[in-house]
Structures are given as C-alpha cells and as structure tokens.
Amino acid sequence: MPSPKAKNAGRSGGSPVLGGSKSSMKPLNLSSPPHHLQRQGSDPTSARLRVSESPSRRRGSNSSTGSASGQGPPEENSMRLNPSLVRVSLSSLLAIDLWLSKRLGVCACEDSSWGSVRPLMKLLEVSGHGIPWLVGAAYCLYKSDSAAGQEVMLNLLLGLLLDLILVGFVKAVVRRRRPAHNQMDMFATFSVDRYSFPSGHATRAAMCGRFLLAHLVLAPPLRVLVVLWVGLVGLSRVLLGRHNVTDVLFGFWMGYCQNNLVEMLWLSPQTLQGQLGQWA
C-alpha cells in the first residue's frame, strides 16, 4: 500500500523515485547554458554572432553592397576612368592642327605679319573658285569645234558639278567651323561655305589639275605651272585663315578621288545625247 507522500507526489506532477532520496533529485535549469559553453566563457548568442560575422560573409556583404551601388570592382572602375588611346590621339592631332593653322594664318587680316601679301592670296582664292571654272568649262564646251575637245570639256563640266555636290554634302554632315581668326570676306559664298571641312578650293584644284594634266597636251613648263598652282591654292587657304591644315590635306585627297570617279564615269557627247533622249 503506497504511502501518503507518494500519493501527494503523484498529484503534484512529480514522479516517484525508487530507492532514492530527496537530496539526489535536482531540477534542470533550462535557462543556463551547457557546462562546456560555460567553461569556454561564451554563450550561444555570441557564438551565433561570430559565425554570422565571419570574414567570408563580410566580404560577400561588401561585394553585394558595391555591386548594388553601381561601383563595381576596382579593375572595371580603372578601365572606365582611363580614356581610350584613339581618343587621346585624335585630341592631340586636333590640338596640333589648330595650333599650326593659327601660326600659319599670317595673311588673315591686313594687320597680320604678312598682311601685304593678302591681295595676292585672294587672287589665288578667286582662281580656285567654282564659279569661274564652271563658266570657263561651259564656254569652252560651247566654242569647241572638235568632238574630242567637246568630250573633254563636257566631262570637266560634269566633274565640277560633282565636286560642288560632294563638297557641299560633306560640309553639311561634318559642320566644322572655320578658324576663329578668319575674316568672312570671301568671293560668292553660299550657306555651306560657313563650314570649313573640307576645303572646296583644294578639292577643285586637285581634281582640275589632274584632269588637265591627263587630257590636255601641255608643254613641260605649263605642266609645272599647273602643279605649282594646285599647291599655292591649297597653301593660300591656310595663309588667309580660311581653313585648317587638315581641311586642305583632306581636300587634296578628296579631289584626287573625284578625278578617279570622273574617269570611271566618262561620258562622250553621243552617249550623253542618247541618255538625254531616253529620259525625254
């Protein structure tokens, strides 16, 4: 028969212990950490903080923060900050071009160092203008008696018209301003003539010079004069301050290519009359 103490223990939720005493029964303290953590001088909360703040996690958080802010790795930032070699080279060439063009513009105005030579330079300017060449080619075509002469003058006239179209198109696309020291007192200018690149006088001089040397029978002194005239026309554009050096150099190359195009599209009067008859 169980004792009253055992019954009371059963009612209170305890369990009877057989063969033991009250002193041997110790309640468990769940709020205290295990003995091995107490001996190490740490608690579970600090252990979890150490794991969460490990170096790998700190590096991951820093990289995610940098990528989220849009900074990226330092290698990519240095590549973005370093300009390209092509851009630096073009900027250097442009600076040299502007400096050299300003130094060579010695006839830009009457007060310049070579201002007394300015009327001669303007005469060379008129000699390379498009209107005198168009009028002269049309007049020679009208007055020519031979079929060969008419054919040559016809293609020269077509080449001059082609030069006006191509130069005007390139100037309208590039839209490079003329040098700051230039005086806009040119002969018979048009709307696109306020732009500088390329030099229309240089393209016209190079194309007409090659054309005349190839299709006209000229004595050696006249051939030398033609080459000299082409060079002086291009030089006068820089001395007058009308163009930069690169405008004239590109104009010479463009005129050379235009002459090749005229040779490829060569027309005879009979071919032109036949095409005009078809269009009519």
Name the catalytic one among 35, 129, 215, 243: 243
- The number of CA neighbours under 13 Å toward the Cβ of 201 is 32
Name the catalytic one among 36, 181, 201, 215: 201
Three-state DSSP class for residue 71: coil
Asked if residues 194 and 243 have their Cβ atoms less than 8 Å apart, the reply is no
Instruction: Please say if 243 is a catalytic residue.
Output: yes
220: tokens are: 């050696």
Q: Backbone phi, then psi, for 195, in 5-degree steps?
A: -95, 160
Residue 208's nearest CA partner among 239, 163, 170, 246 is 163
Whole-Å CA distances, 227 to 128, 175, 220, 230, 279 = 13, 30, 11, 5, 39
Instruction: Please say if 201 is a catalytic residue.
Output: yes
- The number of CA neighbours under 13 Å toward the Cβ of 99 is 6
What residues act catalytically? 201, 243
